[in-house]
Amino acid sequence: MAYYRRNSSADRMARGLGWFSIGLGVAELVAARRLARWMGMEEQAGLIRTYGAREVATGVGLLAMGDARPWMWGRVAGDALDLATLASAHHDGNPRRENVATALGAVAAVTALDVLCTAMLHREEATAWTPPRDYSDRSGLPRPPAAMRGAAKDAPIPADMRTPDILRFEPAEV
């Protein structure tokens, strides 16, 4: 159950990442072979298609479910998997190494957004869980202000709180 505000900045960001996830997932499903060729990973087209299905599922979860946090953690885990897969293809034997580096940079940037959004969602929940202060044991003013006015005029003033004699004003004698 989500304890953060709906339509907060973290919630809007999570939903935006949900739509991004669906778009990226559909692109990976539709153009897996082309993406694999662009990165020099022709033998990994099926894996890219699988990652696309994961992206679509995560995006639907973010948009349809009430609590975005588990789905955001799913995105972060998926990003780690994507980074590991891309890192394995970033070697001198890959003629498309520069394209893999570009993909690595893009996934790293999205990972940073996912981590930021997840942290924001958790922070909002922590704030929402702070119990409100309880002032029920306080009674407020014991009497109305008019009744209390002047109540302490006869109270004794300690010597150290009195105005020193040298500073006291004495009106001139006329």
Q: What is the pLDDT of residues 43-77, one digit of tens each?
A: 999 999 999 999 999 999 999 887 889 999 999 99
Domain range list for the chain: 9-128
Q: How confident is the model at residue 140 (pLDDT cuts 50, 70, 90)?
A: confident
- Segment 27-33 shows an average pLDDT of 95
| Report field, pTM of the whole predicted structure over 0.75 | no
Say whether pLDDT at 90 is over 80: yes
Are the beta carbons of 46 and 90 closer than 8 angstroms?
no
Q: Which of 79, 68, 85, 72 is nearest to 110 (CA)?
A: 79
Q: Which residue has the higher pLDDT, 140 or 159?
A: 159
- Segment 120-133 shows an average pLDDT of 80
Token digits of residue 162: 């009195």
